[in-house]
Structure 1
Amino acid sequence: MNRGFLDLMFITNNPSVAVAAQDCGVKRIWVDLENLGKEERQKGMNTVKSKHSISDISALKMVVDKSELLVRINPINPDSKSEIDEAIERGADMLMLPMFKTIKEVSLFLQYVNNRVYTNLLFETKESYEIQDKLLEMGGFDEAHIGLNDMHLSYELTFMFELLPNGLVEDMCHKFKYYGIPFGFGGIAKIGEGLLPAERIIAEHYRLGSTRAILSRSFCDNQYEDYNKWKYEFQLGLNQIRLFENLLPLLPESYFKENIEEVKKGVDKVVSIIKAKRNEH
C-alpha cells in the first residue's frame, strides 16, 4: 500500500504506545510540555490536556528510533531558554512554539534554538494569523501547523472546523505554499468517525496542500495495557486513512468542490447542535 500524503503525528508519553505508533508508520511522536495558560483557555472542553514532563523526552528517545520526536514547549516565558536547551539535550528532533502573538516571541524562540533542531510554529491565535505575512518574510523556521482548537477560541467561534468554510485556513495554506513552508492543520479522527467525518477533513488537507495532521486519541484505546492491541488499533485506523488517501488523486475536481459544500453543511449542523445544548443549561 502507498504511504499516502499526510505525515501523521500522535501525542503520547507512553513508550509502548509510541513504539506501536511508529511501527505502524506514524511519522512523529509528540511530547507535549505545554501547560502555561492551557487549563484556563480550554476549561470545560473535551480536549487533551497532557501531563507530560521533560523527562519523558529521554524515556521516548530510548525507544523511538524510526519516528521523529516532536516536542511542543511552553509559550515564550522567562524559563524558555532553559526549557529549550534541556529538550534538545534530551533528544528532541523538532521543537514547536505554541500560542505566540508577536514577532519578538518567534524571534526569541528561533534565537534560543539556534538551528540545533528543526522548528515548527503553531499558529493558533488571531494575532499569529495577523502577523503571518511578516513571519513568512522573516523566515528562519522549518514548518508550520494551524491549531484549530485554540484558533477558533481566539475568534470566539463555536466549533473549530468553522475555520475551514470561513476561509481563514485556506488563506493561511495558500501563503505557506507560496513560501514553500511545509504545513498541516488540526487533527483527524478514524475514517467514519468524528463530529465532522474524517473523510471530509482529509479531502480538505489534500485540496489545500497540507501534509501533516495529528491523530485523535481514538487511535489508541488507553484501557489496553498491551503493545499488540495498541498496534492493532493503530494499524487498522491508519490502513483506512491510507486507502482513502490513495483514492483522492483519482477523483475529479468536482468532488472537491462538492466536498467543500458538504464540509460547510456539516459544520453548520454541528454548530447548531452545540448552541442548542448550551441553551439547555
Structure 2
Amino acid sequence: MIFKYITNKPELANFAVGCGVNRIFVDMEYVGKDRRQGHLNAHRATHTIEDIQLMREAIPDTELMVRVNPVYPGTQNEVNGAIEAGADVIMLPMFTTAEEVGYVADLIDGRARFCPLLETPQALVRLDEILEHHARIDEMHVGLNDLHLGLGLTFMFEVLTGGLVELAADKIKAKGIRFGFGGIARIGQGAVAAELVLGEHVRLGSEMVILSRTFHKNSSQVRELVQRVNMKEEIDKLKNCINSFKEAPYETLLENKARLTHAVRQQVAEFQREKQY
C-alpha cells in the first residue's frame, strides 16, 4: 500500500518518510476548491513550484507527487513547471472529459507518471471513454470527497458503500492501471472506523491511500506531530490491519463490507437528523 502524505514542509516530509510514508504529496490545487469545499473542514492547498523544488532536495529518493489545478489556461506552464521542479507523478483533479485527460497526458509526454483523480460524476459516467487513454495512465485515485459533493450525497463514504467505487475499480484494474481511493484516519478513529475502510481497500484491490488530516491531527510542524501522534506506530497499525485482511478469507471481507455499510448508514441518518432539527 502506498501511503501518501500531503505537506510542503521539508522537515515534515523527511520525518514522515522515516515513519513509513512512501509518497509525499505536494498540492497546488486551488482553482474552484473554495467554492466546492468552503463549507467543509477540508485541506486547502497553498503549495507552489518552489515547494516542489525544496521537497525534491529534501527527499531525493522518495516518490514526489504533485496535484496541479484542473485544466485551465495555465495548465501547460503548471505541468511543465512541476515536472522540471522534480515531480515523479502528476495528479489531475476535477476532470470531466476524456479530452482533458488526453490533453494532460500529451503535456506530460512520458516525463512523469500520470494519475487522474476521479472525483466528478461526469468522469465516472464517462470512465470507459477516459480509459481509452489507459496506455498513458499509470494510476488512478478515486476522490470520495468531491465525488460525494457532486452527486449530492450526505456523506462521502456513501460513494464507497453504494458500489460506485467498486464499479470504477473493476474498470480501472481491467486496464492494468493501479487504483486507490480516499483518505484514511488512524485505526479506531474517523467518522467511520479506519479499519472498516481498510477492509474495503483490500477487497477492492486498492494500492494507494492518503493519510488524512485527522490521521496527523493537522500538525504543521514535526514538534506538533510528535506531541500529538506516534506516526510510525500508527502507520504500522495500518499495515498490520491491511495484512490481516489480506490473509483473511473472502467471507471476512464481505462481513467487513456489511459492517462498513451499517456504520455509513448510521452516519447518514445522524447527519439528516441534525439537518432536520
TM-score (norm 1): 0.93
Q: Sequence identity, in percent?
A: 38
Q: Unmatched 5+ residue regions in structure 2?
A: none
Residues 231 and 270 of structure 1: is their aligned pair in 2 closer, same or farther, counting only changes over 3 Å? closer
Q: In the alignment, which of 155, 172, 175 is matched to residue 171 of structure 2?
A: 175
Give yes or no for the alignment of 1:220 onto 2:244: no
Residue 278 of structure 1 deviates from its aligned partner by 2.1
Q: Is the 8 A contact 1:34 1:72 kept in 2?
A: yes
Task: Note the 1:54-203 alignment, pairs <5 A.
Answer: 54-139=49-134, 140-203=136-199
What letter is aligned with 1:147? G
- After TM superposition, the runs of 4+ consecutive aligned structure 1 residues lying more than 4 A away are none
Match of 2:180, SS state, is strand
Give yes or no for the alignment of 1:24 onto 2:14: no
Q: Is the 8 A contact 2:117 2:141 kept in 1?
A: yes
Q: Is the 8 A contact 1:220 1:233 kept in 2?
A: no
Residue 34 of structure 1 deviates from its aligned partner by 0.3
**Separation (CA, whole Å) in 2 of partners of 1:68 and 1:149:** 24
**Separation (CA, whole Å) in 1 of partners of 2:266 and 2:222:** 37
Higher mean C-alpha deviation, range 248-257 or range 191-200: 248-257
Residues 177 and 230 of structure 1: is their aligned pair in 2 closer, same or farther, counting only changes over 3 Å? farther
Residues 18 and 231 of structure 1: is their aligned pair in 2 closer, same or farther, counting only changes over 3 Å? farther
* Residue of structure 1 in register with 2:271 after alignment: 274
**Separation (CA, whole Å) in 1 of partners of 2:246 and 2:90:** 32
Q: In the alignment, which of 5, 9, 14 is matched to residue 10 of structure 1?
A: 5
What letter is aligned with 1:255? T
Residue 189 of structure 1 deviates from its aligned partner by 0.3
Residues 11 and 225 of structure 1: is their aligned pair in 2 closer, same or farther, counting only changes over 3 Å? closer
**Separation (CA, whole Å) in 2 of partners of 1:248 and 1:9:** 20
Residue 272 of structure 1 deviates from its aligned partner by 1.2
What letter is aligned with 1:211? E
Match of 2:58, SS state, is coil
* Residue of structure 2 in register with 1:249 after alignment: 246
Q: Is the 8 A contact 1:17 1:227 kept in 2?
A: no
TM-score (norm 2): 0.95
What letter is aligned with 2:204? L
Q: Is the 8 A contact 2:25 2:65 kept in 1?
A: yes
**Separation (CA, whole Å) in 2 of partners of 1:234 and 1:109:** 35
Q: Is the 8 A contact 2:66 2:90 kept in 1?
A: yes
Residue 228 of structure 1 deviates from its aligned partner by 8.3
Q: Unmatched 5+ residue regions in structure 1?
A: 1-5
Residue 253 of structure 1 deviates from its aligned partner by 2.0
Match of 2:140, SS state, is strand
Q: Is the 8 A contact 1:146 1:186 kept in 2?
A: yes
* Residue of structure 2 in register with 1:265 after alignment: 262
What letter is aligned with 1:166? G
Residues 252 and 110 of structure 1: is their aligned pair in 2 closer, same or farther, counting only changes over 3 Å? same
Q: Deviations over 1:158-177 (max 9, x none)?
A: 00000122110010111112
What letter is aligned with 2:161? P
What letter is aligned with 1:104? E
Q: Deviations over 1:51-86 (max 9, x none)?
A: 112211011111113321100000011110011111
**Separation (CA, whole Å) in 1 of partners of 2:19 and 2:174:** 32
Q: Deviations over 1:29-50 (max 9, x none)?
A: 0000000000000121111112
Q: Deviations over 1:110-150 (max 9, x none)?
A: 11111111110100001111111112223211110000000
Match of 1:13, SS state, is coil
